Each structure stands twice: as C-alpha cells, then as structure tokens.
Structure 1
Amino acid sequence: MNKSLLTNISAFIVAIVGYLTHQPVIWSVGLFALSGAVTNWFAIHMLFEKVPGLYGSGVIPARFEDFKSGISDLVMGQFFTEENIDKFLGQQAANHNSINITPVINKIDLSPAFDALLTTVEQSSFGGMLSMFGGTEALVPLKEPYIRKLQESLVEVAESEEFNQLLINEIEQPDTIAKIREQVATIVQQRLDELTPSLVKEIIQTMIRKHLGWLVVWGGVFGGLIGLIAGAL
C-alpha cells in the first residue's frame, strides 16, 4: 500500500477511535496527525497538478521551460565545460590506442572509391584504348583486391606515428573544443525540445515520488506529536 495513503488512513483511524472512546488525547493525536499528513499530501499534489483557485499549484508543469533551461545549464555548465572537454581530449591524446580510428576505417564502404577510379580511367586518354579490351567492365574483377589494398593502406596511415601526432595536435586546437561543445549543446537542446509539460511532470514524479511519500509520513508523525502535547495540556 502507498505509504502516504497508509499514513492518512492510520491517522484517521486513531482520530475516530479517540472520538468514539471519548479520549481527548487520542482524539487530538489522530486529528493533528491527520492534519499534518493530509496537508503535506495535498502540497505534494499541488506541485504536479493545477488546482483551480489555488495560486502556485501545478508549478512543475507550468514552469517546465525553466526546468529544461536548468537541465541544459547543468549539462553544459557542469559536465561539458571547455576545461572538462580539454581534460578528456588530453587524456585521449596521451593514449594513442584510445583515438585509433582503424575500427572506423574497417567499417567504411570503399566501393565509391573504386567507382571513382573507373570514371577517371574512362574519361582519360586511356579510356579509348581500354574500350578495345571490353571497356571499364574489364576492370571490375579488380574491385575487391583494390578495396582491400586501399583499406590496408588507410589502416597503415592511421596507425602511423605521424598521423597520430597530427590527430592529437588537431584535437588540442581551441576551435576543436569549441566545435565539440557546440555539437553537444545542439544535441542536448534537440532532446530537451522533445519534452512536454506532462513528460517533465512524469519524469520528476518518477524520480522523487518515493521520497516525497516520506513527507506525508513525517507530517503525520510530527502532527501526532503536536496533538499529543496539545491533548496533554
């Protein structure tokens, strides 16, 4: 059972028992506990839902633009600062294996490179001579060996010390860091633009619903203590 509902029911039962048994102290404890629990429960409800006539209710969906702006500022201002990006890239640059682009090269489709070669040959002075031997179709069997050799050459270049040093130097350029930060900011903003007031409400409710329930519980506890003191006096 929901802890908030359980607290309200418990306080209500205590209040009824005190009233029916004519026990002022028990009645006071139950009544004050119920008052504290219900008040906190209603305050939590007002965070997420608009209540007609009550100014300030529904504050989370009503101010969702501020929440989006806050999330953006948090991500860009705390995590993706120029200092953090520079530190990260510096760590990457210190370890060549971490910036090795060989896996990327192995996934690239190099067929357009061979097609461009065929077009170049066909449009060159060698094209007329080649037509005597079946045209560029005669070169098609060379496609796989050409692509494999080109891929091996690119991998060799990518793994060379000169290329890695050039890549490191390029990464450490100030404008590179600025471009990376700009791209991250664009991605973050695009994702935030997809948020709606109801979605923001659901996200925040999911995050803090469990903890907000304890506000109701402690509202009932402290309300009951106040009622105990009031009843004793």
Structure 2
Amino acid sequence: MNKSVTTNLIAAILVLAGYGLNNVLVLTVGLFALSGAVTNWLAVYMLFEKVPGLYGSGVVPSRFEEFKAGISHLMMKQFFTDENIDRFLSEKESGVGQLDLTPVIEKVDLAPAFDALVSTVAQSSFGGMLAMFGGTEALVPLKEPFIAKMKVSLTELAQSEAFFELLKEELEQPNVLADMRHKVEKIVSQRLDELTPQMVKQIVQEMIKTHLGWLVVWGGVFGGLIGLAAAFIQH
C-alpha cells in the first residue's frame, strides 16, 4: 500500500472514529487531516492527469513539447558545448587519451594492404627478379606474418603519445567540433521525436511521483495538527 492511500485511510478512520464516538477532537483532527491529504493527493494527480473542469490539470502531458524542448536545450547548451567537448578531448583520463583502437585494428582486414604491396613489387624493377623465383606466388607465405606485424605496428602507433596529440589536434578543429555538435544534436532530436506524451508522463512519474507521495503524507499530518489546534481553540 502506498503512502498516499495509507495517509488517506488513516485520516478517514479518524473521521469515522470521531463521528462514531461523538468525539469532536478526534473528528476535527480527522477532517482536517483528510482534507489536507486529499487536497495534496489531488494536486499530485492533477500533475499527470487531465481532470475535466479543473484548469491547469494534466500539466505534464499538456506541456509535452516544452518538455522535449527543455531537454534538448539542456543537453546542447549545458553538456555538449564546444568548451565541454574540447575539455573532454583534452583530458587524458577520460578523453582521447583513453581511446583504445586495438580492438578495431584487430578486426581490420589487412589482406588488401599485402596484395597492394605484392602488386607494387611485381610492377617495380624487382618484378623481373621476382619472376625468377616463382613470381608473386612466392610471396604468399609471407602474407600472414606481414599482417601480424602490421597489426602490431599499427597498435603501437595508435598507442603512442604523438598519435594521440595529432588526433586531438584534428578533433579540436572548429569545423570538426561543429560537425560533432551537429551530429549529437541530430541524435538527441531523433530520440526526443520518438517520445510520446504518455512516455513523457511515465518518465516524470518515475522520477518524482514516489517523492511526491510525501506531499500527501505531510498534508495529512499538518492538516491534522491544524485540526487539533482548531479543536482546542473552540474549547
């Protein structure tokens, strides 16, 4: 049982007990507690649901487009600014310095590079000499060792400080940063366009509705205290 239902139930029990026992103090406390809890519960409910005749209800789904625009503005103006991207690229701990290209290099097919090398040798002045030793077929056994050595060399190159500096300098070029921001903005816009009013309502509910339940609890508590004070004043 959630906090809202529990609070309203306790307040209702106080009302019934006060009425049944003809106890004005308990009845007053119960009525004030119930009014405070129900009012706050209705306010929370009206955030997410449209109530006919109540202006301003259903504010979350009705402000759907503003919600999306707000997220887009927050993402692009606060997180993905040129300064933040540049700072990220400059940080060795989390930026380009942490970029590990080894898995990519391992997956790259370097066979065309070997074929190009063989073709170059065959067409060079060494082609005639190569033909004397079986032609290009004589180089086939060197293919796998060549590819393995190339991958090792490329990995070492990709992990060198000089490579990261060159990569960082290239990424920090104004046109590259602008293109990067444009692509990020496009991705954000595409994802936001997939949102529906119902999805937005669910997102906001998941974020705050649990905590908003305490509004009902405290509405009941303070309502009960006010009722208690009112009962003492009357007596």
Q: Tell me the C-alpha RMSD between the 2 structures.
A: 3.5
Gaps of 5+ in 2: none
Task: Return the offset for 1:73.
Answer: 1.6
Check 1:58–1:145 CA distance in 2 against 1; reply closer, same or farther (3 A cut): same
How many Å separate the matches in 1 of 2:95 and 2:59?
A: 48
Tell me, yes or no, if the aligned pair for 1:49 and 1:58 is still in contact at 8 Å. Answer: yes
TM-score (norm 1): 0.81
Check 1:153–1:217 CA distance in 2 against 1; reply closer, same or farther (3 A cut): same
Tell me, yes or no, if the aligned pair for 1:93 and 1:168 is still in contact at 8 Å. Answer: no
In structure 2, the partner of 1:70 is 70
Task: Return the offset for 1:121.
Answer: 8.8
Which string of whole-angstrom CA distances, capped at 9 and with x for unpartnered residues, describes residues 175-198 of structure 1?
Answer: 332222222222222222221111
Task: Return the offset for 1:117.
Answer: 6.3
Task: Return the offset for 1:85.
Answer: 1.4
How many Å separate the matches in 1 of 2:151 and 2:181?
A: 31
How many Å separate the matches in 1 of 2:195 and 2:115?
A: 45
In structure 2, the partner of 1:147 is 147
In structure 1, the partner of 2:25 is 25
How many Å separate the matches in 2 of 1:8 and 1:156?
A: 68
Matched ranges for 1:118-197 at <5 A: 141-160=141-160, 162-197=162-197
Task: Return the offset for 1:5.
Answer: 0.4
TM-score (norm 2): 0.81
Query: Alignment length, in residue pairs?
Result: 233
Identity across the alignment (%): 63
Check 1:93–1:230 CA distance in 2 against 1; reply closer, same or farther (3 A cut): closer
Tell me, yes or no, if the aligned pair for 2:88 and 2:94 is still in contact at 8 Å. Answer: no
Q: Residue 146 of structure 1 aligns to which amino acid in structure 2?
A: F
In structure 1, the partner of 2:54 is 54
Matched ranges for 1:110-125 at <5 A: 110-114=110-114
Task: Return the offset for 1:211.
Answer: 0.7
1:107 to 2:107 alignment? yes
How many Å separate the matches in 1 of 2:122 and 2:24?
A: 104
How many Å separate the matches in 2 of 1:28 and 1:198?
A: 40
Tell me, yes or no, if the aligned pair for 1:11 and 1:33 is still in contact at 8 Å. Answer: yes
